[in-house]
Amino acid sequence: MNKNPRICIALDYWEKDTFLPQVQEDKLRKISDDLHFIEPRNLQGESEWIGWLKEKKPEILITAWQTATLPENCLEEVPELKYVCHFAGSVKKTVPTSLLEKGLLLTNWGNSISRTIAETALMLGIGALRRASHWTMEMHQKGGWKDRLTVVTGSLFERKVGLHGFGVISRELVKLLQPFNVTISTFSPSVPDSLLEEFGVSRAPDLESLFSENDVIVELAALTPKNTGIVTEKLLRSIPAGGAFVNVGRGAVVDEEALARVAEEGHIQVALDVYGKEPLPLDSPFRGMTNVFLLPHLGGPTIDRRQDAAAHGIENIQRYLAGEELESQVTVEITKRIT
């Protein structure tokens, strides 16, 4: 175990401040006092970038969104580099797959930020049932107030909640739903019965049942070729009147044109943080539909919880140095599956 590895940190100022507040930077300094920071914007082009790496010879490189792409010849130029600890999620822009094929280790934030997305789903679910988007517009824009005879409000307590997909975000959401005494089912063919039992979640036999037999549907299915557009108009129309459809997963899993038609009819509430095309186009039919709660893909992680991703990365650096298996490792196979 290398006790004082050279670690380079290529984060911009805001990334450094938010991923590495003092409490996290201190953890890093306990691992090594051979730390070298660079603000990516201070390097002009690939030649200065590779030049800096050649000069520093890091064994471990910490990266995030603003880090420049690693050159394809990076490992030849900097043979000391063994492990890229990416503090963010998507690695595509940062690390070419060819470097992984040459043996570079790579991890990302994995599941460390999943709970903040679950939190968004909870807020959108409660907010949809309360018509929070409608009332925000009424109160701010139209001078509105409730009318006792027309106000419609719903609670999450005692409801039936259907989760499309049962990955880590769904599992975090189940924890947040626990105090609401809800009945949870999921459609997620690959998940084993034992995991559902552990979380007290029942299995919906098919997507049709999931949508037609729950009050609140939370969309969290992975975007695979099979899942693209799998949430059809027929499914959306089968959500019981007064119910809600919440998408904090991937927009393209849903036939969004159909969703707009169904939403327009006003029988269900919709809450969206993700869209097939982002930024959401100016002429999106969702804009202006007050029964559609819209957020601009800010489910997670929140800025104050970026440090959870750094903490996860720093634990991985400790694992790397101890020769242990890494968590959230991004392998060649995984990069090829990523949509």
Q: Which of 50, 55, 42, 40 is nearest to 9 (CA)?
A: 40
Give the span between the Cα atoms of 61 and 54, in whole angstroms. 12
Q: Which is nearer to its own copies, 229 or 242 (CB)?
A: 242
Q: Which is nearer to its own copies, 106 or 294 (CB)?
A: 294
Q: Which is nearer to its own copies, 61 or 294 (CB)?
A: 294
CB-count burial class (<10 Å; 0-12, 13-18, 19+) for 234: middle
Q: Which of 277, 279, 281, 285 is nearest to 258 (CA)?
A: 285
Q: How far is the CB of 67 from its own copies (least distance, A)?
A: 14
Q: How far is the CB of 174 from its own copies (least distance, A)?
A: 10
Copy the structure tokens of residue 51: 């030049």
Q: How far is the CB of 41 from its own copies (least distance, A)?
A: 12
What's the DSSP call for residue 264? H
Q: How far is the CB of 166 from its own copies (least distance, A)?
A: 18
Give the span between the Cα atoms of 156 and 53, in whole angstroms. 52
Copy the structure tokens of residue 129: 């049932």
Three-state DSSP state, 111: coil
Give the span between the Cα atoms of 64 and 129, in whole angstroms. 36
Q: Which is nearer to its own copies, 298 or 338 (CB)?
A: 298
List, in sequence order, every beta strand (DSSP E) within 170-232. 183-187, 202-203, 216-219
Q: How far is the CB of 20 from its own copies (least distance, A)?
A: 16
Q: Which is nearer to its own copies, 142 or 336 (CB)?
A: 142
> What value, to the nearest 5°, has the Cα angle with vertex 81 and ends 75 and 87?
115
Three-state DSSP state, 293: strand
Q: Which is nearer to its own copies, 124 or 321 (CB)?
A: 124
Q: Which is nearer to its own copies, 203 or 305 (CB)?
A: 305
Instruction: Tell me the C-alpha to C-alpha distance, in Å, between residue 319 and each of 22, 85, 139, 336.
Output: 21, 12, 52, 25
Q: How far is the CB of 150 from its own copies (least distance, A)?
A: 10
Q: How far is the CB of 27 from its own copies (least distance, A)?
A: 16
Which positions touch its own copies (CB under 8 A)?
14, 65, 115-116, 119-120, 122-123, 126-127, 129-130, 132-133, 135-141, 143-146, 148-149, 151-158, 175-176, 178-180, 278-280, 282, 287-290, 293-298, 300-305
List, in sequence order, every beta strand (DSSP E) within the chain. 7-10, 35-38, 60-63, 83-86, 105-107, 160-164, 183-187, 202-203, 216-219, 244-247, 269-272, 292-294
Q: Which of 331, 337, 323 is nearest to 100 (CA)?
A: 331
Q: Which is nearer to its own copies, 151 or 338 (CB)?
A: 151
Q: How far is the CB of 119 from its own copies (least distance, A)?
A: 6
Q: Which of 219, 140, 222, 13 is nearest to 132 (CA)?
A: 140
Copy the structure tokens of residue 46: 């690939």
Q: Which is nearer to its own copies, 105 or 177 (CB)?
A: 177
